[in-house]
Structure 1
């Protein structure tokens, strides 16, 4: 796993092949299949390694918005730790092979605000897609800039013109504000809940 992460960071996802990994470890490619059934399961394990590095800052109890933001920020930092990190995690999620921890953690943070399970899961998915898309864009732009392949006279990229972090924070704020605007209703016991589309629960 350490060798695979090193290859990813140095060469990028396209060059992370089973053959290159085997050569790095000085073994035959067939030896790798004792550990991973195929490249997809290898990438799933790499994705799990990447997202496991997301350690959110501590927030005060009950502050769902800050807790959710902290999870999103920690995930962004973890994805940026490795070249093509967002692409690896995104492709793994698309195949349903792993890296499901961020979704669960985001949903749990949102639930702290009194949102029902369905809303929490849908909102967590939306946040996760935003984080993955934003970081993927950041990483692609950084690589393009480093290679000098951005077209001359290309208009400023809004995601990077005001700073990747600033644009990211603004997007998270928009999503959290939208959640906060969900209609507040009360259960028979008097406890507030928020639900998808503002319907009473």
Structure 2
């Protein structure tokens, strides 16, 4: 049975969850799907395209509305739900990969500069949070109980 594009993205997200972004390779994704790496290129042109599709999937459940604080929380929650989710989103946003429509959607409810600043803050803070939590999980650092509250404080500063 042939894999669909949806299967490829789902397989890539499973590999991401198991190994993290650094080791999420086309070869591993192909292995996850039981195919040769060349079979993936029937669905995606390259790994960057696949990363864009992965980011789209990570942020797909995020409802963007006029409540920018709640929207920012939903985005953070969506990225935290996926191992290295913020790093995937940050990479695709920086390189304008995939259909990264969050900035446009946020700009529909605010000034474009506010939208961009919010995205940079939410993605950056979430990326730092994920990295810190991973380091704490393996005993490299002590867990920081203030991460969620510091996110809230920073968000309030931006929205003021």
Q: Residue deviations 1:29-80, cap 9 Å, x none?
A: 1010010111000000000011112136x8xxxxx5xx11111111001111
The alignment status of 1:7 with 2:15, answered yes or no, reads: yes
Unmatched runs of 5 consecutive residues or more in structure 2: 1-8
Deviation at 1:99, TM superposition (A): 4.8
| Residues 1:141 and 2:132 aligned together | yes
What is the TM-score when the length of structure 2 is the normalising length? 0.88
Distance 1:38 1:102 in 2: 23
> What CA deviation, in whole Å up to 9, does each residue of 1:2-24 have, x standing for no partner?
11111111211011100001111
Instruction: State the partner residue of 1:40.
Output: 48
Q: Provide the rounded CA distance (Å) in 1 between the counterparts of 2:72 and 2:104.
A: 12
Q: Name the residue aligned to 1:116.
A: none
Match of 1:22 in 2: 30
Q: Give the conservation status (yes or no) of the 8 Å contact 2:11–2:32.
A: yes
**Aligned counterpart for 1:122 among listed residues 98, 113, 116:** 113
2: CA distance, partners of 1:2 / 1:55 = 21
Which sections of structure 1, spanning at least 5 residues, go unmatched?
59-63, 111-119, 178-201
Q: How does 1:1-201 map to 2 (within 5 A)?
A: 1-55=9-63, 64=66, 67-110=67-110, 120-150=111-141, 160-162=144-146, 164-177=147-160
Q: What root-mean-square deviation, in Å, do the aligned CA atoms of Structure 1 and Structure 2 show?
A: 1.7
SS in structure 1 at match of 2:108: helix
CA contact (8 A) 1:86 1:136 kept: yes
CA contact (8 A) 2:55 2:89 kept: yes
Aligned residue for 1:37, secondary structure, equals coil
Higher Rg: 1
Which structure ranks higher in relative contact order (CA pairs < 8 Å, sequence separation ≥ 6)?
A: 2
Q: What TM-score, normalized to structure 1?
A: 0.71
| 1:175 Cα deviation from its structure 2 partner | 0.5
Contact 1:71 1:105 in 2 (8 A): no
Runs of 4+ in structure 1 off by over 4 angstroms are: none
Q: Give the count of matched residue pairs.
A: 152
